[in-house]
Structure formats: C-alpha cells, structure tokens
Amino acid sequence: MSEILFHHPFARARVLAGALLLSVPLIVSGAGTVLGSKHDLSVGGSGPIKATSESEVCLFCHTPHRGTGATPLWNHTLSQATYTPYSSSTAKATIGQPTGSSKLCLSCHDGTVALGMVNSRPTPIQLSGGVYTMPAGKSNLGTDLSDDHPVSFTYDNALVGRRG
C-alpha cells in the first residue's frame, strides 16, 4: 500500500512538507532564533508585546496558506504607506520606496499596521495591554526614513564606480 501511495503525484511533496514541519521546532528553539526573542509575539513570548491567546510563534510573519504573496510565505499585512526615503547630498545611490525584505520589516516597524493583522486570519490577533501597532520608540521607524540608513537600493559595480 505504501508503494502505491508514494507514486501519487503529491506524495513526495507531502513527505518533504512533513519533514520541513518536523524541523521547524529545531529551527525556532535554537540560540539566536525567534522563540523567546522580542519577535516572538505569541502568548508564550518574552514580551513586552505578546498575544493574549495565540500560541503559534511563526504565524505573525509566516504562513503556509493564504499569505500576502510576498516571500518567504509572508503572512503579516503589508503597509500601504508612502515613505520619505533616506536622502543625503553625498549619497550616490538612487533611493526610492522600500521594497523586498525592507517592506516586510516595515509592515510592523512603521507603526501603520496592527501587529496582529495577518492574512491567514479573518480578524486581527489580540495583543495584551491594548497594544495594536508598534509602540512609540526606537522600534517604530514611522514613515519618515530620511534620517535612517538607506534601504532598497541597488548596490552594484556602477554604484561603486560613482563613489570615486
């Protein structure tokens, strides 16, 4: 019977997905990972911001189904904000609106989207202490990035050549 099931077109994918899911606890429980860090917003997280009842650690950012379409399997609602990008008289790069992983980080860290807003749930995940968006402080970058390190620009040989 197992030979017949393994010849099913999705059998290998299921086995690989199962192996990946079994390895997730190993990935998240090691040193330098999300579990127990400030990015662990689950009810078991170290706080100060954490869910009132949600126990899934990775769900706040990632999901295997109904994600935003951004990779890696992004689940948190993306900000629709327009940013004031970094600028400097000495910058040689063309710096525009954040893209890629910078946009993913800003989905929480610009303070415009509730931290519990995830695509895979019909309602936001409730957080303790009445917290909805990133509280004021150094973790909340806002939408004015003009005084922050530049992000989302192409660093290539042409740019290096312009530096002189």
- pLDDT 10s digits, 82-102: 999 998 888 888 899 999 999
pLDDT for res 14? 42
Burial of 57 (0-12, 13-18, 19+ CB in 10 A): buried
CA distance linking residue 1 with residue 136, whole number of Å: 59
- pLDDT 10s digits, 10-66: 444 443 344 344 444 434 445 578 999 999 999 999 988 999 999 999 999 999 888
pLDDT for res 94? 87
CA distance linking residue 73 with residue 1, whole number of Å: 33
CA distance linking residue 1 with residue 22, whole number of Å: 24
Token duo for residue 27: 């990935």
Mean pLDDT taken over the chain: 82
Q: How far is CA 83 from CA 6, 87, 132, 142, in A?
A: 50, 12, 21, 8
pTM, rounded to two decimals: 0.74
| Domain-wise residue ranges, the chain | 1-33, 36-164
- Tally of CA atoms within 13 A in the half-sphere of 84 that contains its CB: 10
* Amino acid letter for position 79: S
Mean pLDDT for 97-121 is 95
